[in-house]
Structure 1
């Protein structure tokens, strides 16, 4: 049986995650060649990109945004050319959301930049690929654990 992780270790983990996130911030000063987005727009865009065809209701639920805040973010993303709204093929009253080619291009630029930045940092520290795979798995499990359960 393993002992529980100390509060100090968990707080340090959160602090490091936030520090890394600040270095990779897609809304930060280094994001000069991508479509500028607010933090809320990034949250919505991330969901739409990984769930093409999603609905506004599902997006609001998944991002824990109020419908009014989601509506403003979606409107802005549409104006910026990042999201396309389409009528659902089976129910024209329902909108579906899809990332655009411009969104794919901006996201591709960000992913390339993130990979280059992290590769350089990992190389400098002598960190091996298997450690990255383990870290990703751990962080994905933490992310899942932080989301409220929708099963009941």
Structure 2
């Protein structure tokens, strides 16, 4: 057993199979990277900026502290990314209506347009790769969402399936 994590249940899937699953995920991620050679016409973001932008887009009105916590970024790193996203016109800082001391983050219209272009790019790339065959896409997305959720919580993904 590796020292950096512990398993609560015996593995049902071999380490080799899981490693191959992770390797395939990484290869697919590289192929649909919006900063790659076939990139759509969107504003280029660093990995940290993309992580923060994704969270703000899915959670408009979140505070900077909530974004840092949810993305597991140090507050200083999150602040740098937010300043950059504001400078690029993708995020607006707004005063909370119930507390003038609090800041709420909102994606801008430019961010919404960039996300729309990015989603269209991903859909086109995957549609071509799948040759129109949508068998298993929803099941695969559900599986990946479950793994993502468990990894973010620090859970053993295998235990949540039981």
Distance between the aligned counterparts of 1:131 and 1:32, measured in 2? 26
Pair 1:66-2:74 in alignment:
yes
- Cα offset for 1:87? 0.4
Distance between the aligned counterparts of 1:106 and 1:29, measured in 2? 17
- Cα offset for 1:32? 4.9
TM-score between both structures, scaled by the size of structure 2: 0.85
- Corresponding residue number in structure 2 for 1:4: 12
- Corresponding residue number in structure 2 for 1:145: 150
Moved more, 53-62 or 27-36: 27-36
- Corresponding residue number in structure 2 for 1:110: 118
Q: 1:53 aligns with which of 51, 55, 61?
A: 61
- Corresponding residue number in structure 2 for 1:83: 91
Matched residue pairs, number?
A: 144
- Corresponding residue number in structure 2 for 1:96: 104
- Cα offset for 1:84? 0.4
Pick the structure with more helix per residue. Answer: 1
Q: 1:22 aligns with which of 18, 30, 37?
A: 30
Distance between the aligned counterparts of 2:37 and 2:80, measured in 1? 23
Distance between the aligned counterparts of 1:67 and 1:98, measured in 2? 18
Distance between the aligned counterparts of 1:61 and 1:130, measured in 2? 36
Distance between the aligned counterparts of 1:32 and 1:140, measured in 2? 25
Distance between the aligned counterparts of 2:31 and 2:57, measured in 1? 22
- Cα offset for 1:25? 1.1
Stretches of structure 2 lacking an aligned partner (at least 5 in a row): 1-10, 155-162
Larger RCO (alpha carbons 8 Å, 6+ apart): 2
TM-score between both structures, scaled by the size of structure 1: 0.90
Task: List aligned pairs for 1:114-129, cutoff 5 A.
Answer: 114-123=122-131, 127=133, 129=134
